[in-house]
Amino acid sequence: MTDTTDKGFSTYHKLAILILAVTQFTVLLGFMIMSPLGDMLMKSINLSPAQFGTVVSAYAFSAGAAGLLTAGFADRFDRKKLLLFFYVGFITGTFICGFADSYLTLVIARVVTGLFGGVIGSISLAIVTDLFSLQQRGRVMGLIQMGIGASQVLGIPVGLYLGNALGWQSVFVAIGTLALLTALLIVFQLKPVREHLKYKRQQSVLKHLWKTFSNKQYLISYTAAAMLAVGGYLIMPFSSVFAVNNLRVSPEQLPLLFMFSGVSSLIVMPLVGRLSDEFDKLKIFTIAIIWMTIMVVVYTNLGPLPLFWVVVLNIIMQMGILSRSTPGSALISAVPEPGDRGAFMSMNASLQQIAGGIAAWAAGIIVVQKSPEAPLEHYPTIGYVVGIVSIISLILMFRINKYIRSKSAVNRR
């Protein structure tokens, strides 16, 4: 399955990590940029909180539908070809976003982008699972998920400056252009990933899909991952609107807020990945969930503050939010059997996106803004809901960890 060792990575595997990290950077930036652009979008095309929540959820719902449709086929093709196919579709959708000029056309553009972009993460995770042992995946996922931090350090601030100068549509044109260059890396540098094809399947696509969906242990994993997604999607859509209208961060200061948060992510994610491999993944996850729950409740109840304190508190909150992802993903990746990995990852990503879409839509219903310049109301309610959802995800992750340990014990016999 892999020619890596637990102590280090081969030259090719370092290259593969780089390619997947850059791919994740562009996809995450294409998705995450909606939140920082939220204040600009809502004011430029006169969107209400409910309409903006719909724009965000449109990507998530279409991504979830795409994952369900492709889950049954995910283990039947070379993963490199699948990655390239969906990445080209994501690039196309991103350029369409660059030409949207109204609420309706923006929703349609986000649907197209989500149909392709939402599947890329699960394909990348399946590739990681095929190429690297469980003992290495924490480090690998920590490195790949640095795309989150990189998108905040480089992509989001540059995107905001570009949006302020040339209009928000120019941001998507720039992302699409960068993704085109990344696609060339995939074509010429990533090797085919076909090891999973040796597992012969007598089942039809639909039967394989149903088997992957109905497995009890898989269902627990899907639910845990969905709860993690709900926590993120509730907070994310209105973060820039909350910062500008409630915390009184100026639009000119907003890029700095995301940049400093991103810098902390670049430091924290690899560290958490290494800690997840060296220590118990469940313990790291538990610490991150408790940390996140406390800080989300504190942050969502804040009022106007100096920029320095907004940055500090945002960084502390983001550390908790991001730190749960690496150990959580590593644990969930150990649940499926080798022949089910692609379908499992696609199904998992799909249900995450659908749950996230519901959360983004619900966030748009919960919060109220009486005018484009007025503070958001009921944002603390979102913080409390996130706390409850996070505790549920922790309980489910304990069950997942117990199953992984029992499966490992059986395999050692």
The domain segmentation of the chain, as residue ranges, is: 12-412
**What's the sign of the alpha-carbon dihedral 193, 186, 70, 151?**
positive
The tokens describing 7, both together, are 């102590």
Q: What is the mean pLDDT of residues 44-58?
A: 83
Packed helices 134-144 and 325-333: angle between N→C axes, nearest 10 degrees: 140
pLDDT confidence bin for 160, thresholds 50/70/90: confident
pLDDT confidence bin for 330, thresholds 50/70/90: confident
Predicted pLDDT at 5: 46
pLDDT (tens digit, 9 = 90+) per residue, 402-411?
Answer: 888 887 766 6
Predicted pLDDT at 159: 77
**What's the sign of the alpha-carbon dihedral 294, 296, 300, 304?**
positive
Instruction: Inform me whether the pLDDT recorded for 60 exceeds 70.
Output: yes
Per-residue burial over 94-112, b = 16 or more CB atoms within 10 Å of its CB, e = otherwise: bbbbbebeebeebbbbbbb
Comparison of pLDDT for 129 and 358, the residue scoring more: 358
Give 212's strand partners.
none
pLDDT (tens digit, 9 = 90+) per residue, 182-206?
Answer: 899 888 878 777 666 665 555 566 6
What is the percentage of the chain residues whose pLDDT exceeds 90?
Answer: 15
**What is the spatial distance between Cα 336 and Cα 349, in angstroms, rounded to a whole number?**
14
How high does pLDDT run on average in the chain?
81
Number of residues written out for the chain: 413
Task: Tell me the CA distances in angstroms from 73 to 18, 203, 204, 205, 209, one per residue in order.
Answer: 26, 12, 10, 6, 8
The tokens describing 24, both together, are 């994740």
Q: What is the mean pLDDT of residues 111-133?
A: 81
CB 302 within 8 A of CB 247: yes
pLDDT confidence bin for 63, thresholds 50/70/90: confident
Q: For the chain, how many helices (H) and strands (E)?
A: 18, 0
CB 363 within 8 A of CB 234: yes
Least confident of 246-250, 300-304, 368-372: 368-372
Least confident of 74-78, 129-133, 222-226: 74-78
Comparison of pLDDT for 159 and 7, the residue scoring more: 159
Question: Class for domain 12-412, per CATH?
Answer: mainly alpha
Measure the CA angle with vertex 54, ends 40 and 90; round to 5°: 80
* DSSP conformational letter for 376: P
Measure the CA angle with vertex 323, ends 181 and 120; round to 5°: 30
Packed helices 11-32 and 169-189: angle between N→C axes, nearest 10 degrees: 160
**What is the spatial distance between Cα 144 and Cα 124, in angstroms, rounded to a whole number?**
9
Least confident of 49-58, 67-76, 316-325: 67-76
CB neighbours (10 Å) of residue 313?
16
Give the residue carrying structure tokens 């919060």: 367
pLDDT confidence bin for 369, thresholds 50/70/90: confident
Predicted pLDDT at 8: 65
Predicted pLDDT at 200: 54
Q: What is the mean pLDDT of residues 228-256?
A: 85
CB 76 within 8 A of CB 126: no
